[in-house]
Structure 1
Amino acid sequence: MDSNYTICRGDAALDVSELKTLYRDVFQQEDVAELADILFHHAPGLPPENWLLAREKNTNALAAACVLIPWTWEMEGVAIKVGEQGLVGTLDEHRKKGLMRGLNDALRQIMLDEGYLLGVIQGIPGFYHNFGYYYSVPLNNHIDAPFHIMPDELEGSPWTFAPATKEDIPFLLEEDERYRSYYSISVKRDRAVWDYLLTHSKNTEYGSDYFITKHSKTGQRFYCRIPGQGFGSGLIVSEVSIDISPDAFMALLVFAKKLARERDKPYLRFDLHNDSPAGNMAIAMGAKKGYPYAWQISIPDKVAFLRGIASVLEKRLAGSCFKGFSGVYRLEMFAENADLVWSRGVLEEVRPGTTEECPLTFCLNQDLFPLLALGHRTWRELQHTRPDIFPAAQHVRPFDYLARDQSAPMTDVLFPKTKSWVYERY
Structure 2
Amino acid sequence: MPVQSTIDRGDGLVVRWSTAADQERIADLFSHVFRRSADDPPNARMIAYVQHQMSGCHPLIGPNDIALVEDAQRGIVVAATSVMRQRWEYAGVPFTLSRAEPVAAHEEYRNRGLVRATFDLMHARSAERGDLAQCITGIPYFYRQFGYEYAVDLGGSRSVALTMIPDAKEGQPEPFTLRDATIDDLPQIRMLYERERSRNVNGLPILVSTPFDHDHWRWTLSGQTVDAGEGWNTRMIVRPDGQPVGYVLTGRVRWSPDQVRVVGMMVEPGIPLTAVMPPVLRALRTIAPTVPNAPPKTGEPRRLVFSLGAAHPVYEALGRDLIMRTEQPYGWYVRVPDVPLFLRHIRAVLERRLAGSFLAGYTGELNIDFYKSGLRLVFDQGRIAFIEPWRPPVYGDEASAGFPPLVFLQLMFGRRSLEELCAWHDDVWADDEPAMVLNTLFPKQPSWVLPLD
Q: TM-score, with normalisation over the residues of structure 2?
A: 0.84
Match of 2:306 among 230, 248, 270: 270
Q: Secondary structure at the match of 2:79?
A: strand
CA distance in 2, matches of 1:334, 1:61: 42
CA distance in 1, matches of 2:343, 2:320: 38
**Greater alpha carbon shift after TM alignment, 342-351 vs 410-419:** 342-351
**1:377 Cα deviation after fit:** 0.8
Task: Specify the alignment match of 1:239 in structure 2.
Answer: 264
Q: Secondary structure at the match of 1:79?
A: strand
Match of 1:172 among 186, 189, 195: 189
Counterparts in 2 of 1:194-213, with a 5 A limit?
Answer: 194-203=217-226, 204-213=228-237
Task: Specify the alignment match of 2:248 in structure 1.
Answer: 224
Q: What amino acid maps onto 2:405 in structure 1? A: Q
What 5-or-longer segments of structure 1 have no aligned partner?
Answer: 394-404
Matched, 1:290 2:305: no
CA distance in 2, matches of 1:390, 1:286: 42
Task: Specify the alignment match of 1:398 in structure 2.
Answer: none
Task: Specify the alignment match of 1:397 in structure 2.
Answer: none
Q: CA 1:363–1:254 in 2, change beyond 3 Å: closer, same or farther?
A: same
**Greater alpha carbon shift after TM alignment, 368-377 vs 19-28:** 19-28
Counterparts in 2 of 1:184-199, with a 5 A limit?
Answer: 184-199=207-222
The alignment-based identity, stated in percent, is 24
Q: Secondary structure at the match of 1:406?
A: helix
Q: What amino acid maps onto 1:177 in structure 2? A: E
Spell out, residue by residue over 1:315-359, the C-alpha distance to the aligned partner (whole angstroms, 9 max, x if none): 211211111223332332121112223333233432112657896
Spell out, residue by residue over 1:239-284, the C-alpha distance to the aligned partner (whole angstroms, 9 max, x if none): 1117662211222112112222555311111111242101232253
**Greater alpha carbon shift after TM alignment, 346-355 vs 116-125:** 346-355
Spell out, residue by residue over 1:65-119, the C-alpha distance to the aligned partner (whole angstroms, 9 max, x if none): 1111111111111112121111211122222221112112222222222222221
**Greater alpha carbon shift after TM alignment, 407-416 vs 354-363:** 354-363
**1:169 Cα deviation after fit:** 1.1
Match of 1:251 among 279, 293, 310: 279
CA distance in 2, matches of 1:94, 1:158: 58
Spell out, residue by residue over 1:137-164, the C-alpha distance to the aligned partner (whole angstroms, 9 max, x if none): 2223331112344312262332132111
**1:302 Cα deviation after fit:** 1.0
Q: What amino acid maps onto 1:390 in structure 2? A: W
Q: What amino acid maps onto 1:257 in structure 2? A: R
Asked if structure 2 preserves the Cα contact closer than 8 Å seen for 1:242 and 1:277, the reply is: no
Q: CA 1:245–1:370 in 2, change beyond 3 Å: closer, same or farther?
A: same
Q: CA 1:339–1:218 in 2, change beyond 3 Å: closer, same or farther?
A: farther
Q: CA 1:218–1:411 in 2, change beyond 3 Å: closer, same or farther?
A: farther
**1:124 Cα deviation after fit:** 1.0
Number of equivalent positions: 413
Structure 1 vs Structure 2 CA RMSD: 2.4
Q: TM-score, with normalisation over the residues of structure 1?
A: 0.90
**Greater alpha carbon shift after TM alignment, 363-372 vs 110-119:** 110-119
Asked if structure 2 preserves the Cα contact closer than 8 Å seen for 1:283 and 1:289, the reply is: no
Decide which structure has greater helix share.
1
Task: Specify the alignment match of 2:400 in structure 1.
Answer: 361
Task: Specify the alignment match of 2:412 in structure 1.
Answer: 373
Q: CA 1:342–1:360 in 2, change beyond 3 Å: closer, same or farther?
A: farther
Matched, 1:128 2:143: yes
Match of 2:24 among 13, 17, 21: 17
Task: Specify the alignment match of 1:401 in structure 2.
Answer: none
Match of 1:26 among 18, 24, 33: 33
CA distance in 2, matches of 1:342, 1:241: 41
Matched, 1:321 2:358: yes
Task: Specify the alignment match of 2:373 in structure 1.
Answer: 336
Asked if structure 1 preserves the Cα contact closer than 8 Å seen for 2:392 and 2:399, the reply is: no
Q: What amino acid maps onto 2:263 in structure 1? A: S
